[in-house]
Structure 1
Amino acid sequence: MVDGYSINTGEKRTFGTVDYVLFSLMFCASAAIGFYHAYKDRNKKKTEDFHLGGRKMHPIPVSLSLSATFLSALTLLGTPSEIYTNGTMFYWIIIAMLIATAGAAHIFLPVFYNLNKTSCFQYLEMRFGKVTRTITSILFLIQTLVYMGFVLYAPSLAFEAVTGVSLWGCMVGVAAVCTLYTTLGGLKTVLWTDSLQFTIMIAGLLAVLIEGSKSTGGFSNAWDIANDNGRIKFDDFSFDPKTRHSVWTVAIGGSFFWLYLYGINQAQIQRACSLPTLRRAQVAMWLNFPGLLLIVTLTVLIGIVMFAFYSQCHPVKFGIVNRNDQLLPLFVLDTLGTIPGLSGVFIACVFSGGLSTISSGLNAMSAVLLEDFIKPFCCGSVVKKHGILLSKILVLVIGAIQFGVAVLISRFTGLILQFSYSMYSITAGPIFGLFVAGMIFPWTNKYGAPIGFLVSLAFMCWLGLGSLIEKPSGYKPLPTYTTACNWTAIGKSPPTTTPAPVMTGSVDTTEEPILYDFYRMSYQWYTGLGMIICVFVSVIVSFLTGYTKPSTIDSQLMCPIFDVMFPFLPEGVRKPLRFGVVYDKNKKYMTEDDFSPPGEKEKVPQGVNNHSFTVDNENSLYSTNL
């Protein structure tokens, strides 16, 4: 790798004074927000203030935070590289995000909000018992630590590629600043820093897109170049699950992954539950979708422009960078490097994505450790008195651990986006399946749920590890070229190539194990497959061991999904689709009048008896109308 060199001129470029100032200001502003909220809330003693912002937050910062949390540095670096390498089919992910937003706002959020619990895993104990809650919480902690490690590593990799600054130094700095401001101010700080960082992300992406388009003769020219080289494609409707990115794979398969992130992930549930009413929480959830759409669209467009810029000289083959994940930082060098400050804006953009995700993870893991392990098993009285102090100590410890995880991850190679999706999806499916089995299938009992979870987890680990170890052939990226590379500029000679042997007929795969076809399944289906296996096994085992009678279930733990999805159907059709669950008149979420913060007087909706559930499209919490 030749760090910091322009691919066109061979001129070495590094950060200037203005770049460092702008980059540093982002860190200083984030830390300042943390100090401000630490001082402002210094007299507050409730852990709810630290983890839920006292349930008094505004929908705007919450929606910006929802957008920024999982559209992290992995998205900012990985999506342009994905478009560059494999084309635009990935853009169908916006449909998955739309489905996830609707599902999260109207299926899962009402249940979590009205339970008034800090940890979403407390639901699992109420539905299936403490064992299920504990093992699921442990898996969530491991999953989030690994994901945060990816997110810490990705922006540090970008910074190293642009400036030559040590990768380890970058990771130490990011982890320290992020842990500091999260420890100081809790969720309030996380939400407001996320809002700032979302703005910086948009500014950085726009700067790269505008200047990059100028460098390629305008965006329309860049589009034509990418189209001529097979990068512009939106019409792959293959039903084959082995197709890495088809319409169904990305839009439908990806929707399960994003439903997990927005519907039952602790970090997102905490944000939504920080609002004073459920209706505002749902509005914030919907307001976050334009942010998702904007960031994904900008990163896809940047990928198109980036390919046009390097269409005749692939930087990895040229030897300027070692991996595709470093293409965007190099592109910034070549397009923004001569304009003081813009490189700093870009790096601040990438780090903003990383900081938002890491801070969210730190706060969420602190809440889970406190509520699911420390409070139930020991030190309950201590938590009541010193809950905020314990939460801050936990953030510090988790911050140190996730740095160690990031160091291990730095040893991996390959596309960051796919690898992080795969690892996260393997564990997301079983967790998602547990909540679906609990909220949608009333027959699931305390035996079926953990067995289904463990079977699904084992199956998904086998699938993920099998595909990683065996690496069956099948997926091939689109071709790249080095015909216009200026080898003299970097003091190298063009590599000598040996002609590939002539192949006749098709490749013989008769000796290939049949499991290889299974290992070739697109990573986008992992979460959905894990969820389906968990639900199927849970329900079957529940019937074999004595299923739960729907009429005995607390309706606050269930979602009348057919009332949510088909409110226009007559009551006579919808009633049997509630599977015998009695949604009685005391259920808090049945009218908007009941959307009051804990402690306020509840109101009983009119015209509802103990044996029916009538959806009011205007006021119903489960209405699809906002």
Structure 2
Amino acid sequence: MAEFGALNWSILVIYVIANLGLGFFLGKKIHSADDFFLGDRSIPWWAIGISVVSTYVSALTFLGGPAWSYTDGLSVIAIHLNYPLVIFFVVTFFLPFFFNSGVASIYEYQEKRFGPASRSVMSGVFLLSQGLTSAAVLYATSLVLEFITGLPVEYCIAIVTLIALIYTSLGGIAAVIWTDVIQAGILFVGAFVILFALLGEMPVPVAEALAQLKAQGRTDALDFSVDMTRVTTVWSGVIAMTLFHVTVYGANQMMVQRTLAAKNIGDAKKSFLMMGFGAFFIYFLFILLGVLFYSYYGGREFENGNTIILQFATDYGLPGLMGLIAAAVLAASMSSLDSAFNSMSTVSTVDFYQRYFKPGESGEHYLKVSRLFTVFWAVMIVIPALMFAESEGSVLETLSKVGSYFVGAKLSMFALGFFSKHTTERGLLIGVAVGFVVIWYVATNTDIAWPWYCAIGGAVNISVSLLASLALDGRQEEYSPYTVVGQKAQFAAEGRPEKEGNWYLIPGRVDRVSYYLLGLFILTVVFLYLFNAMIG
């Protein structure tokens, strides 16, 4: 503990106090559950956008990204090629449905489209999957505190949980977003300091190091193999992981809830577009770090690969660097944990407590319940976090594997809701149940790589749901008003404008700026090809 030093401790403590202080300040503006869930709808789009970015670019990326690419090379970036495509679909189809409805929980859509049972199932799936995801984030951050302080990881898990819990329960979604802005700044300052330090400390010139890495096959990011047992191929990234990430951003309360706090549909879309245009470059930075670390350390094995970036900071010895890195990783974790706590509290309150137990209560009552649920979920994620502590692989890969079990159900329930005429609630629930069984079988009895679980689960869910709906309830005479076709007809019948400013209100219409995302996707593939081709 003494080795960490007063300067490093000062940086870390100031960061923690600033977050708690901001949560306390914003908490004074919270008077109802709507304030807690959605703020006052006056938060600027750029702050929401930074919050979206920093929530998913968490401690799992800061630690797990370099750990994964240290082992597998630059091919790991293939998993993250899809963000421009993902955000294209999310802002075109998902956001208009949710923003126009004025809901706090996006799973209210499921009830409007299918019925109360499907809403409860989707909400339950979210709570389970998000709890496991948050546990992985919590464990990743606790690794940092254990590394720098020598405290047992169990104590570190408790400390991190308590800090995130306090300011989230005080300030609600506003505290989540504004602390995320601070946390993003610290995260990227830390990342760039490490990058420039690493470039300056390489044992050979960077060009020579990259040439050696290329000879070992570690700089080729574009693996066009059609082998579905391999994780990091172009096809798994562009096809399977596009479907995976569409559910992460479009069908995930944690990601969408902050956009519902925007002033208008344009601001909501712009906040997500920030992720679409910036995600590839962010992930490339962290994955490139892992590749360069492999050269710096000569490919030596680490007892736990997730501590590579921390080991380098220790070896480099710059005064205050370990404090900055510790704050950066803690910041990355807090930006994910606070969002998880708030969104899980929202779903628990709106989709279960208010829906089934205490409808019609006051806003103050639901605010109190929401804060109690925040505490409840903070305590609950500690259990799986302790289980993750037994894992020595990349926490980023571990998280992705865990999430892949659930995304097929999310994907199918929203895809059928948006586009299907004949799917009914009974058929949908049968499809979801069969899909889970199939994914379990694929995961335990085949060598198919986890990125494909979403595509397989989604295909099974959709096929079985359609067949079961037709068998049980027959063909439907018209599209639901909550489908894309139904929304277009409803807008036309009511004479409502399709646009608000330069942004489409109606789902299925493509905003002009979104086409640039498709161009960016092509450019990133070309960039990765040229990056490898021009080495040595």
Q: Normalising to structure 1: TM-score of the pair?
A: 0.78
Give the counterpart of 2:388 among 409, 413, 419.
409
Kindly provide the amino acid, as one letter, of the partner of residue 20 in structure 2.
A
Per the TM alignment, residue 589 of structure 1 is displaced from its structure 2 partner at its CA by 7.3
Task: Tell me which of the two structures has the higher relative contact order, counting C-alpha pairs closer than 8 angstroms and 6 or more residues apart.
Answer: 2
Residues 1:30 and 2:48 aligned together: no
**Partner of residue 107, structure 1:** 93
Residues 1:538 and 2:524 aligned together: no
Deviations along 1:293-327, one digit per CA (max 9) or x if unpaired, are: 34212201211221111115x143xxxxx222222
1:161–1:428 Cα change, 3 Å? same
Give the counterpart of 1:201 among 177, 183, 187.
187
**Partner of residue 492, structure 2:** 585
Distance 1:588 1:350 in 2: 50
Deviations along 1:211-249, one digit per CA (max 9) or x if unpaired, are: 111110453343233223321112311112112211111
**Partner of residue 314, structure 2:** 333
**Partner of residue 427, structure 1:** 406
Kindly provide the amino acid, as one letter, of the partner of residue 28 in structure 1.
I
Deviations along 1:412-457, one digit per CA (max 9) or x if unpaired, are: 3323222211111101211221111111112111211111111112
**Partner of residue 417, structure 2:** 438
Higher-helix-fraction structure: 2
Residues 1:521 and 2:430 aligned together: no
3-state SS in 2 of match to 1:117:
coil
**Partner of residue 276, structure 1:** 263
Task: Tell whether the 8 Å contact from 1:67 to 1:289 is kept in structure 2 after alignment.
Answer: no
Distance 1:23 1:223 in 2: 34
**Partner of residue 559, structure 1:** 484
**Partner of residue 528, structure 2:** none
Distance 2:87 2:371 in 1: 31
3-state SS in 2 of match to 1:55:
coil
Task: Tell whether the 8 Å contact from 1:108 to 1:559 is kept in structure 2 after alignment.
Answer: no
Per the TM alignment, residue 151 of structure 1 is displaced from its structure 2 partner at its CA by 0.4
Task: Tell whether the 8 Å contact from 1:111 to 1:558 is kept in structure 2 after alignment.
Answer: no
Residues 1:241 and 2:128 aligned together: no
1:332–1:261 Cα change, 3 Å? same
Residues 1:623 and 2:510 aligned together: yes
Alignment of 1:216-231 (within 5 A): 216=202, 217-231=204-218
Residues 1:147 and 2:141 aligned together: no
The farther-off stretch of 300-309 and 91-100 is: 91-100
Distance 1:587 1:422 in 2: 45
Task: Tell whether the 8 Å contact from 2:491 to 2:497 is kept in structure 1 after alignment.
Answer: no
Q: Normalising to structure 2: TM-score of the pair?
A: 0.90
Equivalenced residue count is 511
Task: Tell whether the 8 Å contact from 1:429 to 1:529 is kept in structure 2 after alignment.
Answer: yes
Kindly provide the amino acid, as one letter, of the partner of residue 551 in structure 1.
E
3-state SS in 1 of match to 2:451:
helix
Per the TM alignment, residue 260 of structure 1 is displaced from its structure 2 partner at its CA by 0.7
Kindly provide the amino acid, as one letter, of the partner of residue 469 in structure 2.
S
**Which runs of 5 or more residues in structure 2 are unaligned?**
514-536
Distance 2:297 2:493 in 1: 63
**Which runs of 5 or more residues in structure 1 are unaligned?**
5-12, 317-321, 467-514, 561-577, 596-615
Distance 1:228 1:588 in 2: 63
3-state SS in 1 of match to 2:492:
coil
Distance 1:410 1:158 in 2: 12
Task: Tell whether the 8 Å contact from 1:444 to 1:547 is kept in structure 2 after alignment.
Answer: no
Per the TM alignment, residue 82 of structure 1 is displaced from its structure 2 partner at its CA by 1.2
**Partner of residue 64, structure 2:** 78
3-state SS in 2 of match to 1:202:
helix
Give the counterpart of 1:323 among 291, 304, 326.
304
Task: Tell whether the 8 Å contact from 2:96 to 2:506 is kept in structure 1 after alignment.
Answer: no
Distance 2:181 2:60 in 1: 18
1:163–1:219 Cα change, 3 Å? farther
Alignment of 1:19-418 (within 5 A): 19-39=8-28, 41-42=29-30, 44-45=31-32, 47-216=33-202, 217-311=204-298, 314-316=300-302, 322-335=303-316, 338-418=317-397
Per the TM alignment, residue 358 of structure 1 is displaced from its structure 2 partner at its CA by 0.7
- Runs of 4+ residues deviating >4 angstroms: 586-590, 616-621
**Partner of residue 476, structure 1:** none
1:431–1:620 Cα change, 3 Å? closer
Compute the RMSD of aligned alpha carbons. 2.2
Task: Tell whether the 8 Å contact from 1:110 to 1:589 is kept in structure 2 after alignment.
Answer: no
Per the TM alignment, residue 592 of structure 1 is displaced from its structure 2 partner at its CA by 2.3
Task: Tell whether the 8 Å contact from 1:66 to 1:285 is kept in structure 2 after alignment.
Answer: yes
Task: Tell whether the 8 Å contact from 2:247 to 2:407 is kept in structure 1 after alignment.
Answer: yes
Alignment of 1:477-492 (within 5 A): none
